[in-house]
Amino acid sequence: MLLTAALAYARHGIPVLPVHTAGPDGCSCDRGERCEHPGKHPRLRHGLTEATTDPRLIETWWRRWPSANVGLRTGVVMDVADVDSEEGWHGLCHVLGGSLPEGPAVRTGSGGWHFWFSPTGFGNRVRLLPGLDWRGSGGYVVAPPSRHATGADYRWVHRPTDDLPSGPPALRELIEGPHPPWHGNPDARTVPFHRPIAHPERYAQAVLTAETDRVARAPKGTRNDTLNRAAFALGRLAAAALLDPREAAQSLEAAAQFAGLGRAETRRTIRSGMSAGRRAPFTPDPTHRAA
Ligand SMILES: [Zn+2]
């Protein structure tokens, strides 16, 4: 069944790659139960670069690993919005003007969603919004009927058709930017939404919760960068009077201390991140934005 599916994807021009499988004893890779991405990473040494539409190669792979999950390279036939929480779902709805896309949709084994769009030409964007990643050029997704580590299968809710929805401009703009100024785009003032957000305060509270949570859980080596990004995002919301800046700073500081960052470094990062964010105020209704 996995081989049949893999061949069908390839016939539609989607490069396919075999992915490890997760079972009761963990991942089929050498790390087994210690694997951090059970059933989600490529079986091939060169990973994504070996993805192919060649049916003979695909048959060879699945003869060798009959239960291999099916990975699909994104950015060729489709890009995928990867939603892994309710918050990501609401975020995507906002960007799409209040409704979910009508194109192909997958329920992932973990209870998340994959929505397929025609390729944007952009690469991957992790954390496009809280709970929402974008898989574009250079990325891949695990596709039905693969099995998730939870034991549930990835399954189609809406099967692919020949025309994929193209992301509306608001979505494209969100994927394109803005980037925080310390990532090489000092004049980024682009506002990612073309349409008004219905409940900006509620949205701001959701972002506050998501960002502080992310800071609190950030692994060593990424903590300061995560804090910086969070402070930037909250600074933008504070500049739009959607958050109390003192409350935002205090929440971030508590989260950073929980993550194990030192107090002086934490305060410095929050101050600089938030003031950079304040220079690019968040605009819930971009029709009113300054040029
Ligand atoms: Zn593994």
Task: Please name each of the domains of the chain with its CATH number.
Answer: 2-175 (3.30.2250), 177-288 (no CATH)
Task: Look at the alpha carbons of 216, 219, 223, 228 in this order and tell me if their dihedral is positive or negative.
Answer: negative
Mean pLDDT over 139-146 rounds to: 96
Percent of the chain with pLDDT over 90: 49
CA of 22 to the centre of ligand 1 (A): 8
- End-to-end, the C-alpha distance of the chain in Å comes to 54
Which residues lie near ion ligand 1 (Cβ < 5 Å)?
20, 27, 29, 35
In 3D space, the residue among 218, 220, 259, 213 whose CA is nearest the CA of residue 234 turns out to be 213
pLDDT-based confidence at residue 196 (cuts at 50, 70, 90): low
Query: Quick one: pLDDT at residue 230?
Result: 92
Q: In angstroms, what is the span from residue 71 Cα to ligand 1's centroid?
A: 14
Give me the mean pLDDT over the 118-144 stretch: 90
- Is pLDDT at 187 greater than 60 in this prediction? no
Neighbours of 230 (CB within 10 A): 29
pLDDT at residue 177, rounded to an integer: 62
> Tell me, what's the pLDDT at 184?
41
User: Are the C-beta atoms of 90 and 40 separated by less than 8 Å?
Assistant: no
- Greater pLDDT, 65 or 242: 65
Residues 6+ apart with CB under 8 A from 33: 25, 26, 27
pLDDT exceeds 60 at position 81:
yes
State residue 183's pLDDT score: 43
* CA–centroid distance, residue 87 to ligand 1 (Å): 28
Ligand 1 centroid to 38 CA: how many Å? 4
Q: 């949205």: which residue's tokens?
A: 203
Structure token pair of residue 267: 């305060």
Alpha carbon of 20 to ligand 1 centroid (Å): 6
